[in-house]
Amino acid sequence: MKKRIRIKDIADKAGVSTGTVDRVLHDRGNVAPDVKSKVLEVAKELGYERNRLASALAYNRTIRVATLLPNPEKDPYWKQTNFGIQKALKAVQHYGLLSEQFYFNLFSPKSFIASARQALEKKPRGILFPPIFSQEAHWLLDQCKEFNIPTVIINTNIKEATPLCYIGQDSYQSGVLGARLLNFGLTSGQTCCILNIDFNTKTAHHLLEKERGFRDYFVGNGNKQVEIIRKDFEGFNDRIQLCSFLKKLIREHHSLHGIFVTTSRTHKVADCLHEITDRKIKIVGFDLIDANLKYLQENKINFLINQNPAEQGFQGIMNLFKHLILKEKIEKIQYLPLDIVVKENAEYYRKRQMTFEIAI
């Protein structure tokens, strides 16, 4: 049986103390050049591998980070992200990572700035946030760069920025996928609609990417003649307004048989739609929030694409942990899978979301 190499083994063979070996292995300086090279040589020769357990145990101090999220009480999607974050924090808190949470209003760039300022005041050693407001996100990223705070961004990727990492989906590819799922059930001559139910739809990077992917699918797979239209709608909190909007939409487009809802507000569309028409219109949307799952069970939504908000949060914290405490190298872009959810497999994904586990 192969015996594990300890730093003491290196120390003995190199004729130094374990402290010196540690200094060399962690580049903490104050080691004579010849001693350093000798230690490295012996470590390589013996095939040293760090015992992460003992390492984490000995690294006996706490590091505080900050998370910046839309208020999870006001939005079921961000509630899931928050859940994943909490799970991860609980898992790593005893290993020295603590976090303070800051929340902002999902529709107010100003409240984002305000919360960000609060977070920065605490001088955290790391920050996690979704760059929902492009301009404000860039400002925060600049601030973090200035103060040398590693940053994890989730949910929406942002160009011309170099955070520690991005964790989320490939928006373009999710658009392509949405197109395939709709196309599978459409026939030639029918129309489908890209529907953005959100604010700021003209500038939101991830929504534009979804649209681009959606359109590209039909260009590349031109076996069917399908017309594509795109609509934006902002007044989604007023059900009557949404109903009349959709009524107008299906009146003007007689061959409309598919809607690709680019946000988690898919349920609002399903809710109105089955009331105002008998036409079989297929719906593909996003996210496993309860309201969506209800309509999925009732076959009023055909497919949901899971953006894995809980895992985004979970992995986000885990990456800060790996970077700050385990000092591992972090992959810059970490795309999460595009889970296709239907009635039959929804329960497993929902359950998985609730039961993140950490191995040790």
If binding is defined by CB under 7 A, does position 219 make contact with DNA? no
- Shortest CB 351 distance to a copy of itself, Å: 8
| Distance of closest approach, residue 303 Cβ to a copy of itself, in angstroms | 9
Return the one option of a copy of itself, DNA, none that residue 28 interacts with (CB less than 5 to 8 A, by type): DNA
Q: Which of DNA, a copy of itself, none is residue 340 near (CB under 5 to 8 Å by kind)? A: a copy of itself
359 touches a copy of itself (CB under 8 A)? yes
CA-based nearest residue to 169, from 18, 23, 318, 305: 305
Q: Which of 29, 33, 47, 337 binds a copy of itself (CB under 8 A)?
A: 337
**10 Å Cβ neighbour count for 222?**
9
Going by C-alpha positions, the residue among 260, 256, 280 that lies closest to residue 191 is 256
Please write down the HEC assignment for all residues of 178-201.
HHHHHHHCCCCCCEEEEEEECCCC
Are 199 and 163 a contacting pair, CB within 8 Å?
no
Helix 76-92 and helix 346-354: axis angle, to 10°? 50
Candidates 12-20, 90-98, 131-139, 194-202: pick the segment binding a copy of itself (CB under 8 A): 90-98
By CB under 7 A, residue 35 contacts DNA: yes
Q: How far apart are CA 27 and CA 102, in angstroms?
A: 35
Q: Is 161 or 326 the residue whose CB approaches DNA more closely?
A: 326
User: Rounded distance, CA 347 to CA 162, Å?
Assistant: 37
Is the distance from CB of 56 to CB of 94 less than 8 angstroms? Answer: no
3-class DSSP state for residue 215? helix
Q: Is 20 in the site for DNA (CB under 7 A)?
A: yes
Count of chain residues binding a copy of itself (CB under 8 A): 44
8 lies in the site for DNA, by CB under 7 A: yes
- Does 42 bind DNA (CB under 7 A)? Our answer is no
How many residues contact DNA, by CB under 7 A? 33
304 near a copy of itself (CB under 8 A)? no
* Chain contacts with DNA (rule: CB under 7 A): 4-8, 15-20, 22-23, 25-26, 28-36, 50-51, 54-55, 57-61
